[in-house]
Structure 1
Amino acid sequence: MSQVHGTAASTEEAQGEVIAKKLIGVRQLILNRPKRLNALNLNMIKTIIPKILSWNGSGLANIITLKGNGRALCAGGDVRSVVEAAKAKAPNTNEYFATEYQLNHLVSALDTPYVSIMDGITMGGGIGISVHAPFRIATENTVFAMPETAIGLFPDVGGSFFLPRLDGQLGIYLGLTGAKLSAEDVLFAGIATHFVPSSRLEALETRLSEIESSDHDIINTAIEEFAADYDPEVQFTMGGETRKAIDRCFKFNTVEEIFAALDKEKSEWAAKTKADMLELSPTSLKITLQQLRIGAKRSIADCFKMEYKLAEKIVFSSEFHEGVTAKLVNRTKPKWNPATLSEISNDSILKTYFEAPGETQLTLLSPKDYMQYPYRKYALPTEEDIRRVVTGDAADAILSHPISGDDIINWFVRERQGKFGVHEKVREVLQRKTKLEGDVLRWIY
């Protein structure tokens, strides 16, 4: 782990749970609860919001950066305190989710460039303060997961927006199963925009502090200077046959159909995936699938408002209390009630959690809204980007015909200026999604 994390755990209390630093043109936020893997509590959220608001577009900061002290950026939200407040029927029980979602949306709406350094464990609440940023840096230490269905919750913090916008059914798979991704896989999945070895982070921070501009293109170029070197052996573990199976099995609109598709696969991966999902909250699985399908068609602001309405209802549910208490307090297997999918009708999930009105409306701190992330060009090309070049739908990709796979790979490498991971990502997608018919490369729909 790079020494960029610096501050010793023994000074945690003295320096506070969030440290704000000025590094010439950079304003830096350091999450400072290393003993708790920087789990995000309400106090930390309330500390971060005014800092970001004061820096955003004020001229005080060219760049805002976020990192964690220790071996995590942030392992999640402090849901134990939320459950304790709910059990005590505290009047401000929903404050945590409301304030957290305000922060998450604010990150997505900043004018000042925001760089999240996902060096270490980045899960749940940690994803909410990193994945909506225009620049998201993964390292060899990064571990990504949205494990909310294991505690009777759902992938919130904007999960309903970013997960269904990942390639194919990958986001649905990650949101339902809580599966972990690490290192370069976080880049190839589109969760991170850059992969930088942790040994280079300190030099990168110095370089960012020297930039006298808030131009996103300039900052992107600076980060690329420190990106990993080309390695032809790097592969995406969620690619190939596994990825084909994910798309086949997780394309359905009910969890029952997903389970049936996993049974049909008759593979070790499918059997393990289903077995793992059977350990999760059946109610959470059904809520999550509905949430992600709806979120795919909603704006980012509407996604946060939907999630808040869900959180209002779930925070007092026995499922959430059971999941948090069993998994995070007692370290035991939760006893879900209802215990099986067959006990829960899909109509009741829709009516209870999505159609019934919430008690209050989430008020966001920025009016900005959109249907697609505005800075997605800094990440690796998506499958849709690649499809449009193969089919000729991309007007800016003028290639001579017939087009070969190498032509397309080389075009993307040039278009993304040699960005690490482009060659590998495009090659894997072409192998999985195209076939050669005569001398014509065809996209397989």
Structure 2
Amino acid sequence: MSQTPVEKHVITEVRGRVGCITLNRPKALNALSLGMIRDITAALIAWRDDTHVLAVVVRGMGREGPFGAFCAGGDIRFFHQAALAGNPELEDFFTEEYALNHLVHTYPKPYIALMDGIVMGGGMGISQGASLRIVTERSKLAMPETGIGLFPDVGGGYFLSRCPGRLGEYLGLTGHVLGGTEAMSMGLADALMDSGRLTGLWETLGQTPFESGEAVERWCRNHEQKVFTRVVWPLAEIDRVFSLPSVGAIVSALAATPGDWAAQTLAMLNKRSPLMLHVVLEQVRRARRMGLADALRLERDMVRHCFQLRPGAASETVEGIRALAVDKDHSPRWNPARVEDVTPEMVAPFFVSPWPAHAHPLRSLS
């Protein structure tokens, strides 16, 4: 009796002189497992020192075939199971994922992300450090972690805090989903492409005689949409509200502001973990003054605390994942339940490293 071959969740191949990575877990919207993180990392390290490979391009597989989805984030069901079981692979996951995020940001060759469809959480982590971030009319970008009692990790503090004005605080706290043109206007994408051109672009990567990595980038740019309507954002209002010193002040200002934007924003915040709203506001503001390596080390400290300050089912993150992805009742029992009940003493421990500097799991990042 023949065995069904195990489906590879990451397909790596060299086409012509381009290293090509396909995330191939479409039923899970290409959510990252520890094995996928290891496969992507291994390919990038091998190609970094391979003079034949001039550039790297990464895409996702959709349910109907290539493209249509990039990566919905980390495998949160695994987080839930591992946290309840005390599985040490949970620690390995975050250490290796953040090291991969650093590798993408610091990669010495062009790294091109084809960000079609859903690009959230961990998907942002493997795309925001790209030298060329290509979005389409189907792109949906977000860092929605406050909705599961987590924070925008994978370098989220670093790249959100570098958005114009106070957009970083706004996106980090609300988890607002951006379309392709919105991502362009916020500095989270470099080029817009019609999704119908992606397959042709991918096919020509292996057939074009590139002489340099820069030529690969230029070739991709040849396929971009030059003219599009930029999204007009209420930037003055976002800056006014999200520059306020506390979550309580932000919520009060939104409640006192007339209009749809303030009402919708307040409604989003009211669904998020009150504790993590306070943590994320502090995270984004700290990260604004940090380099990438230090921001990732901070996030590694924070994510350990998310699962260990209140272990097991008492973890705010475990409860948030339970409500969204396990029981799917969409009624998380946040603790505390209200923004005004969060104290500074609850927030401060997230920013204390559980490791001495010489023993930090990401001590080698520079």
Task: Give the TM-score of the pair, scaled to structure 1.
Answer: 0.75
Alignment partner, residue 339 of structure 1: 337
Pair 1:326–1:313, CA change in 2 (3 A): same
Q: Distance in 2 between matches of 1:312 and 1:223?
A: 39
Please say which of residues 336-345 and 122-131 is displaced more in the overlay.
336-345
Q: Once the 2 structures are TM-superposed, how far is the Cα of residue 365 of structure 1 from its aligned partner?
A: 6.4
1:45 to 17, 27, 37: 37
Alignment partner, residue 327 of structure 2: 330
Please say which of residues 39-48 and 12-21 is displaced more in the overlay.
12-21
Pair 1:193–1:13, CA change in 2 (3 A): farther
Runs of 4+ aligned residues of structure 1 deviating over 6 Å after TM superposition are none
Alignment partner, residue 235 of structure 1: 230
Q: Where do residues 163-312 of structure 1 align in structure 2 (5 Å cutoff)?
A: 163-209=160-206, 210-216=208-214, 218-231=215-228, 234-237=229-232, 239=233, 242-312=234-304
Q: Once the 2 structures are TM-superposed, how far is the Cα of residue 93 of structure 1 from its aligned partner?
A: 2.7
Q: Once the 2 structures are TM-superposed, how far is the Cα of residue 187 of structure 1 from its aligned partner?
A: 1.4
CA contact (8 A) 1:19 1:31 kept: yes
Amino acid at match of 1:153: L
Indicate the SS of the match to 1:93. Answer: helix
Alignment partner, residue 120 of structure 1: 117
Amino acid at match of 2:303: A
Indicate the SS of the match to 2:13. Answer: strand
Q: Once the 2 structures are TM-superposed, how far is the Cα of residue 47 of structure 1 from its aligned partner?
A: 1.1
Amino acid at match of 1:87: L
Provide, for residues 307-338 of structure 1, a one-character-per-residue CA deviation record: whole Å limited to 9, x for no partner.
Answer: 00001110233211100011111112101011
Alignment partner, residue 321 of structure 1: 318
Q: Distance in 2 between matches of 1:132 and 1:22?
A: 21
Amino acid at match of 2:301: K
Pair 1:141–1:365, CA change in 2 (3 A): farther
Q: Distance in 2 between matches of 1:202 and 1:327?
A: 33
Alignment partner, residue 362 of structure 1: 361
Indicate the SS of the match to 1:20. Answer: strand
Amino acid at match of 1:151: I
Instruction: Number of aligned residue pairs: give it.
Output: 349
CA contact (8 A) 1:109 1:366 kept: no
Q: Once the 2 structures are TM-superposed, how far is the Cα of residue 95 of structure 1 from its aligned partner?
A: 1.1
CA contact (8 A) 2:119 2:141 kept: yes
Task: Give the TM-score of the pair, scaled to structure 2.
Answer: 0.90
Q: Distance in 2 between matches of 1:42 and 1:287?
A: 26
Structure 2, gaps ≥5 residues long:
63-67
Q: Distance in 1 between matches of 2:148 and 2:355?
A: 22
Pair 1:60–1:215, CA change in 2 (3 A): closer
CA contact (8 A) 1:28 1:66 kept: yes
Indicate the SS of the match to 2:90. Answer: coil
CA contact (8 A) 1:121 1:144 kept: yes
Q: Distance in 2 between matches of 1:365 and 1:207?
A: 38
Q: Once the 2 structures are TM-superposed, how far is the Cα of residue 207 of structure 1 from its aligned partner?
A: 4.4
Q: Once the 2 structures are TM-superposed, how far is the Cα of residue 67 of structure 1 from its aligned partner?
A: 0.3
CA contact (8 A) 1:116 1:137 kept: yes
Pair 1:236–1:204, CA change in 2 (3 A): same
Q: Once the 2 structures are TM-superposed, how far is the Cα of residue 347 of structure 1 from its aligned partner?
A: 4.5
Provide, for residues 42-76 of structure 1, a one-character-per-residue CA deviation record: whole Å limited to 9, x for no partner.
Answer: 11111111111010142131111100000310011
Provide, for residues 362-420 of structure 1, a one-character-per-residue CA deviation record: whole Å limited to 9, x for no partner.
Answer: 326654xxxxxxxxxxxxxxxxxxxxxxxxxxxxxxxxxxxxxxxxxxxxxxxxxxxxx
Pair 1:365–1:28, CA change in 2 (3 A): farther
Alignment partner, residue 146 of structure 1: 143
Q: Once the 2 structures are TM-superposed, how far is the Cα of residue 283 of structure 1 from its aligned partner?
A: 0.9
Q: Once the 2 structures are TM-superposed, how far is the Cα of residue 244 of structure 1 from its aligned partner?
A: 2.0
Q: Distance in 2 between matches of 1:30 and 1:206?
A: 13
CA contact (8 A) 1:94 1:315 kept: no
Q: Once the 2 structures are TM-superposed, how far is the Cα of residue 300 of structure 1 from its aligned partner?
A: 0.2
Alignment partner, residue 105 of structure 1: 102
Alignment partner, residue 65 of structure 2: none
Q: Distance in 1 between matches of 2:91 and 2:6?
A: 29
Q: Once the 2 structures are TM-superposed, how far is the Cα of residue 175 of structure 1 from its aligned partner?
A: 0.7
Alignment partner, residue 90 of structure 1: 87
Q: Distance in 1 between matches of 2:34 and 2:326?
A: 19
Q: Where do residues 27-38 of structure 1 align in structure 2 (5 Å cutoff)?
A: 27-38=19-30
CA contact (8 A) 1:112 1:214 kept: no
Q: Distance in 1 between matches of 2:246 and 2:297?
A: 23
Alignment partner, residue 58 of structure 2: 66
Amino acid at match of 1:152: G
| Sequence identity (%) | 36
Provide, for residues 346-370 of structure 1, a one-character-per-residue CA deviation record: whole Å limited to 9, x for no partner.
Answer: 35412x1113544751326654xxx
Please say which of residues 52-61 and 305-314 is displaced more in the overlay.
52-61
Amino acid at match of 2:91: N
Provide, for residues 179-209 of structure 1, a one-character-per-residue CA deviation record: whole Å limited to 9, x for no partner.
Answer: 0011211112111111111111233234444
2:347 to 343, 346, 349: 349
